[in-house]
Structure 1
Amino acid sequence: MTGRRRPRYLGAAGAFAVCMAGTTLPTPLYGLYQEQIGFSELMVTVVFAVYALGVIGVLLLVGNVSDAVGRRPVLLCGLGCAAGAAVAFLAEQGLALLFVGRLLSGFSAGLFTGTATAYVLELAPPDRRARAGFAATAANMGGLGLGPLLSGLLAEYTSHPLTLPYLVHLALLAVSFAVTWLLPETVAGARPLRTARPRRPDLPPQVRGVFVPAGIAAFAGFSLLGVFTSVSPAFLAEDLDVHNHAAVGAIVCLAFFASTAGQLLVPRLGAARAIPLGCLVLIAGLGLLALSLATGTLTPLVLAALVGGTGQGMGLRGAVGEVAGAAPAEQRGGVLSALFVVAYFGISIPVIGIGLLARPRLTHAGLVFAACMAALAAASGAYLLRRRVS
């Protein structure tokens, strides 16, 4: 039984990674879109925020629908939205289709984040539940990291930088659709998809005590990742004179891979301890980001991706573990979706703020961001430590 079930949760994790990779594919390409279409750095953050708002909207409206209609139908819809986003980028003729592509990417991520996390956990045999938790969060972060790495390499070393990344992604989505179609349903008594009704995620009483600290940690960590996926390419080009798309993609990828590595530390630390420690490591990463911005040097930025990503990963896996462990099985998808609503507010709100402050220089906006997020992470860590002591 264990031997047969192991590939099932890994197959679901693979589809999760492919879907999330599509959401970050445009990151190294924003400079090319700016040259082709002509828009400001503020518009880059707006395009990025459209994605985050799409995620939040789906999570709020149908974040817990998979608890009723099953995991597979929701994930298949998410893969369909991801394919629609790739087609929109392939047909891109201006800002309108960029917005459509990012909105559909947001829909796909919103449908996947909570649902796929719950699905991977449920497909795993009981003795591999801890590994499945890592597989789910690693698929999320690893997929987000693979997106810019793939598109950066293809943009730099092929002659079709704005089409080939999306064609490759469509092929991967087709494989993921087939894998997901063949996986078993894990929700007992799942109703037909047509019976689904929009319903906001709600928090059972037993979850509320752990949700606040988990949500704070997720917000702070995702805000750093939002900066790396939206405005770091512009900083690299304008202030550090780094124009190689593959290098830009690799630096962004580094933050997400460091997040995956940080998650490996959580089983030894314990989820409750990992969250405040993750906040502390995240503050160090923000300090390195501020140093890079202030001095215009590349090395602190690379270290910021490594250190900040590690802190984010520690906090995320700790948060997912605490929340999923406290949630009843029949409400787990909705509760995890609520957690990711908070996380994606962390991606969108600070990034829009940076876009508004980016004139006269992006550096100044980044320094304000780093100071604000460090203060938030410090307050979060202090609150979590005080809660542990009491």
Structure 2
Amino acid sequence: MDGDRRRGWRQCLLAGAVFAVCMAGTTLPTPLYPLYQEKFGFSELVVTVVYAVYAFGVIGVLLLAGNASDAVGRRPVLLAGLGFSAASAVCFLGATALGWLYAGRLLSGLSAGLFTGAATVYVMELAPAGGASRATFVATAANMGGLGCGPLLAGVLAQYAPWPLYLPFVVHLFLVAVSAAVLLGLDETVRERRPLGTVRPQRPGVPPPVRPVFGPAAIAAFVGFALFGVFTSVSPAFLAQSLDVHDHAVSGLVVALAFFASTAGQLAVGRVGVRRSLPLGCAGLLAGLALLAGALVWDLLALVVASALVGGVGQGLAFRGALSAVAAASPPDRRAAVISTLFVVAYAGISVPVIGVGLLVDPIGLEGAGLAFITCMAALVGAAAVYLLRRPVPADA
């Protein structure tokens, strides 16, 4: 029995490592955008659009094939996700024009869309009986930790190793190849598999009884992902242009801190409870936005770092709280559709507002665009916080 438990945890951790590798690939280009701007000569608006294309890929997969692993099995879907991740790296390696970056980001979004749900479930299914709580920690840490490791790895390699626009993707391709070999050695957890042709697109929807909870939860998720979107798309440019920070490792570390802080925030939900995590997360997001505004006004790196940490914790609290509250409020037969809708809203947060910031950079500057974004997001999350204070999430959510 002990041997079976050890084997189960070993497989669970290996699946988590594969999850982290895939998610790291989605944020790998973050500290490299200033270098691509120098190489191809495009504007800050183009940076935000290149970044946002990723979200469109994720949303498309969530809607069209988010439940594919339930039919064909976890491993085939995750292998396909690794394939898209490798193809994304190849696009960045061979980039000779802007179109390659768009293609790379789209493929990266497809890989994340396939992994987000399937890998989370797979990690939990591989864990031995009674290990659901620890397996959830593994899945959360792999997801957000992988997202944080991507810019950190690329930033360090770009700053201290040769070929800054190539070596990060070569290293990632190697990690993807190792991950594929690891994945092939893991057990399949779906026993009754069906043909791919039986997979049907998921229709987003929010039943009327869920709407009072879904509204503020979706707003908090939207703002949290929007904050991450701005951090990962335009913070390297702000650090370079306004703070004269041209160290790619520092740029990657600042972005990584936001994702690592989000992991801490998500783990804290188990202690503070869902009822309090949503309003506390909203408060954290407001504080993170305020610190970011201070960084833009006074050009202080310390405030950028503080914003990443505080906003990251707020995002983690708010998002996991939102997910738990919405899942608890949803009827069992509609739960998957409601959660898919929440993910669609969340990923819209890392596309639409980010493009808005890019559009405003030319007429009012990067700082002005950032302050306009902060004002809009603060109004949204402030409204959600007030609503939650008046109508708290049910205690049993």
Shorter-chain TM band: over 0.9
Shift of 1:270: 1.1
**Structure 1 residue 203: deviation in Å?**
6.1
The separation in 1 between residues aligned to 2:326 and 2:10, in whole angstroms, is 25
The CA deviation at 1:267 is 1.0
Distance 1:70 1:339 in 2: 24
Aligned partners of 2:23 and 2:267: how far apart in 1?
Answer: 20
Q: Is the 8 A contact 1:67 1:330 kept in 2?
A: no
Give the 5 Å matches for 1:73-222.
73-201=76-204, 210-222=213-225
CA distance in 1, matches of 2:356, 2:93: 29
| In 1, Cα distance between equivalents of 2:59 and 2:221 | 14
**Superimposed CA distance per residue, residues 233-252 of structure 1 (whole angstroms, 9 cap, x where no aligned partner):** 11111111111111100111
Tell me which of 380, 385, 395 is aligned to 1:381.
Answer: 385
In structure 2, the CA distance between the partners of 1:384 and 1:137, relative to structure 1 (3 Å rule), is farther
Q: Please, which moves more after superposition, 97-106 or 196-205?
A: 196-205
The structure 2 residue matched to 1:369, chosen from 366, 373, 396, is 373
Tell me how far 1:273 sits from its aligned partner: 1.8
Q: How many residues align?
A: 390
Q: Once structures 1 and 2 are overlaid, which stretch shifts more, 1-10 or 323-332?
A: 323-332
Distance 1:266 1:111, change over 3 A: same
- Which amino acid counterpart does residue 51 of structure 1 have in structure 2? Y
Q: Which amino acid aligns with 1:7?
A: R
- Alpha-carbon distance in structure 1 between the residues aligned to 2:207 and 2:127: 24
Sequence identity (%): 64
Preserved CA contact (<8 Å) 1:274 1:314: yes
Query: Residue 207 of structure 1 contacts residue 327 of structure 1 at CA under 8 Å; is this kept in 2?
Result: yes
Query: What stretches of structure 2 of length at least 5 have no aligned partner?
Result: none
- Could you list the runs of 5+ residues in structure 1 that have no partner in the other structure? none
- Distance, in Å, in 1 between the alignment partners of 2:129 and 2:326 is 18
Separation in 1, partners of 2:218, 2:53: 21
Alignment map for 1:1-390 (pairs within 5 Å): 1-201=4-204, 210-323=213-326, 336-359=339-362, 360-388=364-392
User: Alignment RMSD, CA only?
Assistant: 2.3
Question: By how many angstroms is 1:331 displaced?
Answer: 7.8
* TM-score of the superposed pair, with normalisation by structure 2: 0.91
SS of 1:358 mapped into structure 2? helix
Deviations 1:349-384 (A, max 9, x none): 110110011123100010011111111111122223
Which amino acid is the alignment partner of residue 261 of structure 2?
Answer: A
- State the alpha-carbon separation in 1 of the partners of residues 83 and 340 from structure 2: 19
For the 8 Å contact 1:65–1:334, the answer to whether it is kept is no
Change in 2 beyond 3 A, CA 1:126/1:339: farther
Which stretch has the larger CA shift, 12-21 or 41-50? 12-21
- The alpha carbon displacement at 1:167 in A equals 0.7
Structure 2 contact 22–85 (Cα < 8 Å) conserved: yes
**Aligned-partner Cα distance in 2 for 1:151–1:228:** 16
Q: Deviations for 1:267-286, whole angstroms, at most 9, x for unmatched residues?
A: 11112321221111111010
CA distance in 1, matches of 2:78, 2:393: 40
